[in-house]
Structure 1
Amino acid sequence: MNIYYAFIKSIETGSFTKAAKELGYSQSAISQMVNSLEKELSTTLILRSRKGIRLTPDGEDFLPYIKNICNSHRELIQKLKEMEGLQSGLIRIGTFSSVTCHWLPGLIKDFKKYYPTVRFELHQGNYTNISNWIKEGSVDFGFINSTIVSDLAITPLQKDQMLATIPKNHPLAASSKMSLKDLTTEPFILLDEGVINESLSIFKQNNLELNIQYEVQDPYAIMSMIDLELGISILPKLLLNRCPYNVETKPIEPSINRTISLAYKDKKVLPIASRNFIDFIIERLTK
């Protein structure tokens, strides 16, 4: 490839000497490379004179093709670098329990079928933690509730219904639905979602106040507490799909939903492995 770059740079600079300086060769080396190209093409491409160099008619005809070769080679090298990054890349993700348990294992398993050497680093927290980690660069991207986070690029994935979660033998266990007012009469176990809690916001909008007795970060701990009849809670349906505890779930009237989204600062500057995994997630979860 050096002979093609030597030829293009000589034409761009108008001098073998200047081309040699920019490419890190001697002037004689550049001249020899251009001579080699001329022998390969069986023609004269450049006319040399005391005033400098200029293209011959054949040189004019071959120039666009040689430029295409150089451009294609650059693209090939760039793609090689990207693939090397994809093969050895580290993907850092901000996530929360329901996504960590019910989405990511399958997504990671399928992604690693294509890129088995990619490594993953999962940082688990609430929505506020995750958005801060993205902004400060501690993670490449994260899963968040799109109604709560701002100042980031957001790609909605799926809506997730929030359900009232109560002990199996609770007096309202036979009801088909629970009202917001029903949920205010019992000791409430609040899931810590960060600075802004969407469930709390719904109650405030309806001038209702929960009887919060516990505030817990781990939703599985909340399920265990409900199982032992310490209180009731509101938990996401995604998390409750494979609940290991003896609890009852009920739709809430009016319904409460969250939109699980991907968030990142600037996708274009993320590592190639993270960009590809983002695209992989979107393709799988937005069908």
Structure 2
Amino acid sequence: MSLIKYQILVKVVACGSFTKAAGQLGLTQPAVSHAINSLETEFGFPLINRNRSGIQLTREGEILLPSLRRILQEDRNIHQQASEIHGTTRGTLHVGIFTSVTRHLLPRIIQVMDKDYSGIRLYLHEGNYIQIMEQISAGKLDCGFITFSVSKDLRCKPLMRDRILCIVSPRSALYHQEAVSFRQLEEEPFIMPAFGGYHEIRRILSEHDVHPDIRFELMEENAILSMVAHHLGISILPELVLPEDIAPLRAIPLESESYRTIQIATRLHPSPAAERFVEVAERVVKKQEVSSENRSHQ
């Protein structure tokens, strides 16, 4: 059956090895080689170049791979829809995640998924926003968390707003302020975040015509906090990336509150399992917001 051959080819490409793919699929290495050879005979051209350094898709193989992934995804969708007709939801779900979502939202989402949709098996893939968007569009991921989208191939739903705060050390002239003006960001050395949130930080600075004195650019938020703690500059970071206690540092709101919007993205025609995941994510975020509002009024 061609679907099995397609699955084998996609797995070989993902593993970069016939032997590894055979192990993950529970097949022998000759069976995997036979399936690839059969596909190449069926299509009339080579799909994979084999050499001492490993394997590599041919130009023709690269052209076909996205379509093969879409076919396999549609096959999974059909089986998930069939299970829904029987009153259950089953299948696998590949989800793109980034650090702050993993820390604050994902554990509760997984708990609810395990309780309400135990037939769905989750696979988590860490990456930055661009990688997650590209992998959803390519069919490698079913859904994922992002903060902005430039793709017309994705369906995005906003989940929550995450404040952008100014991080300062006790030696900073800003330390005792209740809010920091955008002009004040230009008055001290600045540690520029260069991780996934880089886009939001650049956007906010550009919108307010701010040109900070950038001393360092760092990918890792803990490294940024360490630089600030050693009095080497100030920074601005999303609230969700911060530890619960950053003392003796302070996280101070900006004069005009700025946010990044955390969204969940799927393909335009998501699988039933992806739709269930989106519903659960929205439910969890709403419940957390209600709990937070109740605590603030106590």
What TM-score results when the alignment is normalised by the length of structure 1? 0.63
Query: Aligned equivalents of 1:150 and 1:137: distance in 2?
Result: 14
Change (3 A) 1:257 1:274: same
Query: Aligned equivalents of 2:128 and 2:201: distance in 1?
Result: 14
More off after superposition, 230-239 vs 113-122: 113-122
Structure 2 residue aligned with 1:74: none
| Residue 88 of structure 2 corresponds to residue 79 of structure 1 | no
Query: Aligned equivalents of 1:167 and 1:115: distance in 2?
Result: 45
Query: Aligned equivalents of 1:263 and 1:116: distance in 2?
Result: 22
Structure 1 residue aligned with 2:111: 109
Query: Aligned equivalents of 2:205 and 2:93: distance in 1?
Result: 38
Matched ranges for 1:221-260 at <5 A: 221-240=223-242, 242-243=244-245, 246-260=248-262
Query: 1:80 Cα deviation (Å)?
Result: 6.3
Q: Could you tell me whether the CA contact under 8 Å between 1:160 and 1:236 is conserved in 2?
A: yes
Task: Describe the SS at the equivalent of 1:231.
Answer: coil
Query: 1:194 Cα deviation (Å)?
Result: 4.9
Query: Aligned equivalents of 2:248 and 2:123: distance in 1?
Result: 32
What's the Cα RMSD here? 2.8
Query: 1:244 Cα deviation (Å)?
Result: 5.1
Q: Deviations over 1:226-274 (max 9, x none)?
A: 2222322111122336245642110102221111111111243x2x333
Counterpart residue identity of residue 264, structure 2: L
Change (3 A) 1:124 1:82: farther
Aligned residues: 207
Counterpart residue identity of residue 184, structure 2: D
Among candidates 143, 146, 157, match of residue 144 of structure 1: 146
| Residue 286 of structure 2 corresponds to residue 282 of structure 1 | no
Query: Aligned equivalents of 1:195 and 1:276: distance in 2?
Result: 27
Query: 1:277 Cα deviation (Å)?
Result: 1.4
Q: Could you tell me whether the CA contact under 8 Å between 1:97 and 1:219 is conserved in 2?
A: no
Task: Describe the SS at the equivalent of 1:111.
Answer: helix
Among candidates 170, 179, 182, match of residue 180 of structure 1: 182
Structure 1 residue aligned with 2:30: none
Runs (5+) with no aligned partner, structure 1: 1-76
Query: Aligned equivalents of 1:231 and 1:82: distance in 2?
Result: 59
Among candidates 121, 124, 145, match of residue 123 of structure 2: 121
Query: Aligned equivalents of 2:83 and 2:139: distance in 1?
Result: 25
Query: 1:177 Cα deviation (Å)?
Result: 0.7
Counterpart residue identity of residue 197, structure 1: H
Counterpart residue identity of residue 224, structure 2: I
Task: Describe the SS at the equivalent of 1:134.
Answer: helix
Query: Aligned equivalents of 2:227 and 2:86: distance in 1?
Result: 48
What TM-score results when the alignment is normalised by the length of structure 2? 0.61
Q: Could you tell me whether the CA contact under 8 Å between 1:129 and 1:194 is conserved in 2?
A: no
Runs (5+) with no aligned partner, structure 2: 1-80, 288-298
Task: Describe the SS at the equivalent of 1:251.
Answer: strand
Q: Could you tell me whether the CA contact under 8 Å between 1:118 and 1:273 is conserved in 2?
A: yes
Query: Aligned equivalents of 2:123 and 2:133: distance in 1?
Result: 16
Query: Aligned equivalents of 2:171 and 2:269: distance in 1?
Result: 49
Change (3 A) 1:195 1:106: closer
Q: Deviations over 1:23-56 (max 9, x none)?
A: xxxxxxxxxxxxxxxxxxxxxxxxxxxxxxxxxx
- Structure 1 runs of 4+ off > 4 angstroms? 80-85, 193-196
Larger Rg: 1
Query: Aligned equivalents of 1:125 and 1:220: distance in 2?
Result: 17
Task: Describe the SS at the equivalent of 1:178.
Answer: coil
Query: 1:119 Cα deviation (Å)?
Result: 3.3
Q: Deviations over 1:109-165 (max 9, x none)?
A: 23212344643322223222221222122221111113x534221111111111001
Counterpart residue identity of residue 158, structure 1: M
Q: Could you tell me whether the CA contact under 8 Å between 1:128 and 1:193 is conserved in 2?
A: no
Among candidates 161, 164, 167, match of residue 166 of structure 2: 164
